[in-house]
Structure 1
Amino acid sequence: MMKFIHAGLNILAFIFVVISLVAVFDFHNAQNIPNMYSLHSWVGLAAVILYSLQLVLGVCIYLIPITPIYLRAAFMPLHVYSGLFIFASVIATALMGITEKLIFGLKYPKYKDSPPEANFVNVLGVLIVVFGAIILWIATRPSWKRPSEQVLRSLPTYRDGSAGTKMGTALSQQTDLIDPEGNGDARRRSGKLEDSGQVN
């Protein structure tokens, strides 16, 4: 269920990205503003392209049942890293965008004179950085990851029931070797939820 929610939210975000890009290019063309000349636009477009590729590969590999288990396991580290990299790129793009808007938008007083508008947007930029740091911290903490037992239960099995079990066991062993303490914390947290009836 969680992977479908994850995919659904990303697809919804992609729709908003497309709408935003169309609006930006239409506005630039209407105002005779050159397109794709700033670092903000370069990094932003690169993030959109990588996000689109990440979304397509994620849907094809993790939502299509016929995808081999070994391919899913092999692609997972790259999928996780790409997601974090794209997220950091989006944060950087947002910071460059609001800075660019302040420099071009504020005339009297200018941005360098620190008017209230500039200070307000600067605070918003700092909050964006804090938000990004919190998300990256959570996403990289082993204690926030699903226990390997849950991963094992979510893996499909073939008719003889061996493929999914073998791959799940391998994933479990890898997780234990990488961070046995963090994985143990995740198991204990999951066990408490199951005992309380919060996990089906």
Structure 2
Amino acid sequence: MSPDWAPATALDRRGFLKLGAGSAAAFTLLGASVQLAGCSQQAAPAAAGFRWLTAADLPFARLLVAGVAGSALPADPAIADAALEEGARRIDICLDALDAPAQKEVRKLFDLLQWAPFRRFAGGVAKPWTEATAADMQTLLANLSASRLGLLNGAFRALAKIGSVVFWSQPVAYPLARYPGPPAWAVAALNA
């Protein structure tokens, strides 16, 4: 006799095994679809002139800098474009300097953000990064930041730190930060 509080649809052993087998099949299918959809680009070589970023990463890296810089990005299109290109190069240098486990995690994040279903549902960006704008990147960052999932919040923090460091460390951003630049004697000592 079952107690009065027992649920009407108790999970017996057979149901538990079916649930486990179904879940395993679903996760296997999801993993295979991610691999086949091109989400994992771990074997992709670095783009020409770069150490770590792939050709698919470059539009994303430029937009990351533009999205984080926001209105601080120079109004002159030529200067802004140069700042975005320098930002992508600095992202490449920073990520190349990470240790292997950290590089692996960032690679997973970058590959996941290239995958259209994730980009659309978790980040709110339907366009591929080659067609997206700085506003789209800001939408992605806002959605990752506002997510109830700690993993997505962590992705936001990582992307915001990367974008902030590479933009605000450029000489074009010094006047905005009221930073006069390194002292001349320090530059001379480094170049000697």
TM-score in terms of structure 1 length: 0.24
Larger helix proportion of the pair = 1
Structure number with the bigger relative contact order (C-alpha 8 A, sep ≥ 6) is 2
